[in-house]
Amino acid sequence: MTNSKNILICTGIYPPDGGGPATYSKLLFEELPKRGVGADVLSFGQVRRLPKIIRHIIYFFKALKMGKKADVIYAQDPVSVGLPAVLAAKILRKKFILKVVGDYAWEQFQARGEKFITPENFQDKKFDFKTETRRKIQKYVAKNAYKIIVPSSYLKNIVLKWGIDEEKIKVIYNAFEAPALSAGRPVLKETKEELRKKLNLSGTVLISAGRLVPWKGFDKLIEIMPEIIKEISDAKLYIIGSGPEEENLKSKISNLKIKENVFLIGQVFHDKALEYLKAGDIFILNTGYEGFSHFLLEAMAMEILIITTNVGGNPELIENGKNGILLEYNNKEELKKRIIELAKNETLKKELIEKAKRKVAEFDAGKMLEETVKILRQ
């Protein structure tokens, strides 16, 4: 089949970086050509080492150069790559499509350590100059997109609050296939027991992951560990990820004297993160916001029990008591109670894990790619 369209995928991250946008971009790059759409990738990782502003300018010129061969420029966020990409698309008179996986202005506001405000409430209030500038940029980029793809109904409602026409927004759930190959070699061929030995894990293994930012609630999870250890003496918590909260979390671990039970793993390659998931007993995501968590899908596929919050797109993946547990954000008492209860109930754990594994099958890559190609061909 000849390629009737060519697409330039502008993405903030790309493998070996972990994370949903990286995985999604790689899937598009590999699979679109099989469906008659040529694909090229421009990762922000190529310029990230440069000073701020300069890197965005260089990225713009790269998008301008690579965009000449494209029919469509598809940006994976509305600011860092979105602004340079939409400007390049305008100059080149190319169709511009945007994917929105979160509210960048809100994320940057919360990353400063401000008092937590939900993304919904954030839309109706005014903030400082920097925050309002970021908000204007993402709205400008969104309004100049031919179509906007969002991975959850929750995020569609957020984008609607930006003043975007509903017919411009399309919900396409992220595809998911249980990882089988990486760089041409099989991964996760080991059993859970083999992985625990390989990673030097023992006891009741609790896993959490994500960027170390305030709204991910890692601090509260660490705070309840002393009480969990009283009930489950061999409990250990492993947190995967890096970010601005790292020193605060290290200090908290030290002050609570739980260095033997809580470990900050840092950023790891995607394969390694999956190994921790498969080797663990419970995956905990105490987050105040989640547009659509690819990590939850991966945890479901890796057959680890999930406890997460009833916020954002999480309820579109997890049904409380059916394929995982949903609870209030930062509710330490409920979180502690559920972790202890489920760590001791092997039968319930197995039941929830089995149903979660079946749920993952609904997120078929073929369906996602078909719907995406349809938009690219319009």
Q: Rounded CA gap, 49 and 47, in Å?
A: 6
Are residues 246 and 219 in contact, defined by beta-carbon separation less than 8 angstroms? Answer: no
Mean pLDDT of 205-233: 96
Q: Rounded CA gap, 91 and 89, in Å?
A: 6
Two tokens, residue 141: 């980029």
Q: Residue 294 — very low, low, confident or very high, per pLDDT cuts 50/70/90?
A: confident
- State how far Cα 41 lies from the chain centre: 19
Q: For residues 224 and 358, which has the higher predicted lDDT (pLDDT)?
A: 224
Question: Is the bond preceding residue 244 a cis peptide, omega within 30 degrees?
Answer: no
pTM here is 0.82
Domain with CATH 3.40.50.2000 in the chain: 5-175+363-377, 188-360
Q: Rounded CA gap, 122 and 312, in Å?
A: 14
pLDDT tens for 363-376 read 878 889 999 999 98
For the chain, the three-class secondary structure string (H helix, E strand, C coil) is CCCCEEEEEEECCCCCCCCHHHHHHHHHHHHHHHHCEEEEEEEHHHCCCCCCCHHHHHHHHHHHHHHCCCCEEEECCCCCCHHHHHHHHHHHCCEEEEECCCCHHHHHHHHCCCCCCCHHHHCCCCCCHHHHHHHHHHHHHHHCCCEEEECCHHHHHHHHCCCCCHHHEEECCCCCCCCCEECCEECCCCCHHHHHHHCCCCCEEEEEECCCCHHHCHHHHHHCHHHHHHHCCCEEEEEECCCCCHHHHHHHHHHCCCCCCEEEEECCCHHHHHHHHHHCCEEEECCCCCCCCHHHHHHHHCCCEEEEECCCCHHHCCCECCCEEEECCCCHHHHHHHHHHHHCCHHHHHHHHHHHHHHHCCCCHHHHHHHHHHHHHC
Are residues 278 and 195 in contact, defined by beta-carbon separation less than 8 angstroms? Answer: yes
pLDDT tens for 17-38 read 767 788 889 989 999 999 999 9
Does the pLDDT at position 182 exceed 60? Answer: no
Mean pLDDT of 33-44: 94
Are residues 249 and 163 in contact, defined by beta-carbon separation less than 8 angstroms? Answer: no
Q: For residues 136 and 187, which has the higher predicted lDDT (pLDDT)?
A: 136
CA distances from 58 to 14, 21, 64, 68 (A): 18, 21, 10, 16
Any bridge partners for residue 186, and if so which?
181
| Fold classification of 5-175+363-377 (topology level) | Rossmann fold (3.40.50)
Does the pLDDT at position 181 exceed 70? Answer: no
| Fold classification of 188-360 (topology level) | Rossmann fold (3.40.50)
pLDDT tens for 71-130 read 999 999 999 999 999 999 999 999 999 999 999 999 999 888 788 899 999 999 999 999
Minimum mean pLDDT among 67-81, 169-183, 188-202, 305-319: which range?
Answer: 169-183
